[in-house]
Amino acid sequence: MRRIAMPPLRGLLLGSLLLSGFTGTALADAPDGHSIDYQVGDEAFTGYLASAPDEARGTVLIIHDWDGLTDYERQRADMLAARGYDAFAIDLYGKGNRPVETDARKAETARLYDDRERMRRLTLAGLEEARQQGVAQPTVVMGYCFGGAVVLELARSGQAEDVHGYATFHGGLGTPEGQSYSADTPPILVAHGGADTSITMSDVATLAEELEAAGVTYEIEVYSGAPHAFTVIGGDRYQARADEKSWAAFHSLLDEAL
């Protein structure tokens, strides 16, 4: 993948504004995203849609971390809309379900890790809802931490139509028993922190071997000294260098895929 210069960042949170150097005038021009309630069967969910101000170059589907769809995913959606993409952050937990305690977050992720069919179904339902909202096609799917694992689950399934690329940021990389990647899987970008103790470099190497054996187009970027969750602006493990480099790599994928 070719590299592009890191653009100024825009977002909802003060940390992003400080990182980008944007003024109050720039903030006034920021995309106007909004929440979207939708149903999957008899269950209610709430996503977030940020639309490109002009004709969109394509769509980015965002899959949240283990704490559910929060201001962080909304911020990233607005940043993508500012760059000319429609962005839809989906909800895998259910309307109003945004766990705060660690045990509650573990329980929510375990519920989906233990029921991969439900994980895929809810992800595809979120993609369908985005398209019902009139977003541009084609699509790239991206996710953070737990969401990154969901991204790879969707990539292995081959069930998502008109998806032209996948990206996982400090996400889970393991392949469940009985699953595998196919040669026609769209390109995959893996952004990983070299100091991540949750997902190890051994996990990275194993994934690379699987993708290489399957003939999948992929790129793995490892950022020295970056811990798990290095992209979470305002978090105690945030690393600006790794965030900026991974964001630039992601936009390079978007340029090529969309």
Q: Per-residue pLDDT tens for 95-139? A: 999 999 999 999 999 999 999 999 999 999 999 999 999 999 899
Residue 120 lies in a domain: yes
Alpha helices per DSSP H over the chain: 14-20, 24-28, 71-82, 102-113, 116-132, 146-157, 201-214, 240-257
Residue 157 lies in a domain: yes
Residue 56 lies in a domain: yes
Mean pLDDT over 76-94 rounds to: 97
Work out how many domains the chain is built from and give that number: 1
Q: What is the pLDDT of residue 32?
A: 75
Residue 215 has pLDDT above 70, yes or no: yes
- State the average pLDDT for the chain: 90
Closest residue by Cα to residue 9 from 88, 87, 86, 77: 77
Residue 18 has pLDDT above 90, yes or no: no
Residue 26 lies in a domain: no
Residue 154 has pLDDT above 90, yes or no: yes
Which residue do the tokens 């500012």 mark? 82
Residue 26 has pLDDT above 60, yes or no: no
Residue 14 lies in a domain: no
Residue ranges making up the domain that contains 102: 33-257
Residue 22 lies in a domain: no
Percent of the chain with pLDDT over 90: 87
pLDDT band at 31 (very low <50, low <70, confident <90, very high): low
User: What CATH number corresponds to the domain at position 38?
Assistant: 3.40.50.1820
Helix or strand or coil: residue 167? strand
